Amino acid sequence: MDWPTTILLATLLFLLGLVAVRSERRLRRWIILLLPLPSVYLIVRWAAYRHAWGEAGVAALIALTTLGVWWQLYGRRLPPPASSIRVWSKDDPF
């Protein structure tokens, strides 16, 4: 088993999961379609080409475990993601 590749894949999958979890609810579908879905497709293609299903599976388990631990320790206490865009008006400029 190639551990540097496994750790790299686990980090990438963890970051993709973090982006999907922390995205706004109304944009989550688009973010999943544009970021994690193509990345997972490319990882599956890479694993099929290199016959590295073991590394991909272990990396997915590491990423899911890390994401679950992050969610239990830190993620549940974060405020829900919200848009920071504000429209200024003459009555309320700042």
**pTM score above 0.85:** no
Question: How long is the chain?
Answer: 94
Which SS3 state, helix, strand or coil, does residue 61 take? helix
Which SS3 state, helix, strand or coil, does residue 92 take? coil
DSSP 88: -
Structure-block tokens of residue 75: 């993620």
- For the chain (94 residues), the mean pLDDT of every run of 10, in chain order, is 93 93 85 90 95 95 96 84 73 70
Between CA 40 and CA 81 the distance in angstroms is 24
Q: What is the pLDDT of residue 90?
A: 76
Alpha-carbon Rg for the chain, nearest whole angstrom, is: 18
Query: Which amino acid appears at position 66 of this protein?
Result: T
Between CA 35 and CA 16 the distance in angstroms is 7
Between CA 58 and CA 7 the distance in angstroms is 9
